[in-house]
Structure 1
Amino acid sequence: MSRAHVRESDGDAPEDLPELPLSRHPNYVTPRGLALLQARLGALEADIARLAPEAVDHRQRRAALDRERRWLVARIASAQPVGGPRPADRVAFGARVTVIDEQGATTRYRIVGEDEAEPEAGLISWTSPLARALIGLAVGDVATWRRPAGDCDIEVQAIAFPDD
């Protein structure tokens, strides 16, 4: 069998890594969200600086870090901070919203940017089905949250806008 068309690795070049995908949505961020992205970039750059450039075993790691750095630089460059006056009586980006569901369970969420979202901590992306159901509502309004586990009606109990 001919090996003329088989690419063999010389062990020196890192594998080509595909770029990390960028969201198609506007990159709205809270001040906290932007600070988190900037801190993450700073930590990443420190990690890159610690890698020995001549170490062959670090090349793949360096390629992955460089890729993540490009993604973070793009996210920071496209960031659109949202702050200032917001409608205190309506759910909007940055709002902390307290809701009650059909079973009477009360939960608090904050609507944040995609990169800041952490659902386990109550931080939900403005692009999520829950946030989309809540945005524009006032206290006392009921929305249907369409979710894989089945639709759920939720009522807005309180709206606040943190100062961060």
Structure 2
Amino acid sequence: MSKAFTKEEDGTENVRLDDLPQSPHPNLVTPSGLSDLNTRLVDRRLHLVKLREKPDEIDRKLAVAVIERDIRFLEGRISRAIPIDPESHPNGIVAFGAEVDVLNEDDQQLTFKIVGEDEADPARGLIAPYSPLGVALLGGELGSSVEWHKPTGSVDLEIVAIRFQ
């Protein structure tokens, strides 16, 4: 029988879900990224308290297990967080926390910000430092070209602006 189900002394079954996998990469975070992680943790803890106050329901047990798993995940992310102040980096070189304007091969300007994995949202231009685009941009200098290796082929990007906010 799986250890996910254990009997308590009162005879009720508790559900313990396996932990969510943690990234193998260092957990670099911006100040806002760390704040977001802490906010998410507080929200999940509050939700757990409210859920435990409800009458005993079958669905509640699984919901509690999901929230407990989320809390363990967030606690792990926070405990391994490495806060990086983007403003501490020298100007002119792409580093963690930089907002970067690039020109693609079609002279279209695109803007990306290199943020922690928990903040990453490529659709909004927020990219992780370990993503192919993040790897291509990191260390790039103002005016230089970098090669972004995509599944569909490589793209040359010219770095036209670097900002740290």
Residue 138 of structure 2: aligned partner? 135
Taking structure 2 as the reference length, the TM-score comes to: 0.87
Q: Which runs of 5+ in 2 are unaligned?
A: none
The percentage of aligned residue pairs carrying the same residue is 40
Alpha-carbon distance, 1:20 to partner: 0.1
What's the Cα RMSD here?
A: 1.8
Instruction: Assess, with a 3 A threshold, how the Cα gap between structure 1 residues 53 and 30 changes in structure 2: closer, same or farther.
Output: farther
* Partner of residue 39, structure 1: 39
Q: Secondary structure at the match of 1:151?
A: strand
Q: Unmatched 5+ residue regions in structure 1? A: none
Would you say 1:64 and 2:66 are equivalent positions?
Answer: yes
Offset at residue 15 of structure 1 (A) = 4.9
Match of 1:118 in 2: 121
1:53–1:59 contact (8 Å) kept in structure 2: no
Aligned counterpart, 1:18: 18
Q: Where has structure 1 moved over 6 Å in runs of 4 or more?
A: none
Kept in 2: contact 1:142–1:154 (CA 8 A): yes
TM-score if structure 1 supplies the norm length? 0.88
- The CA deviation at 1:55 is 3.1
Deviation at 1:89, TM superposition (A): 1.0
Judging by fraction of residues, say which structure has more strand.
2
Q: Does residue 1:92 correspond to 2:89, yes or no? A: no
CA distance in 2, matches of 1:71, 1:53: 26
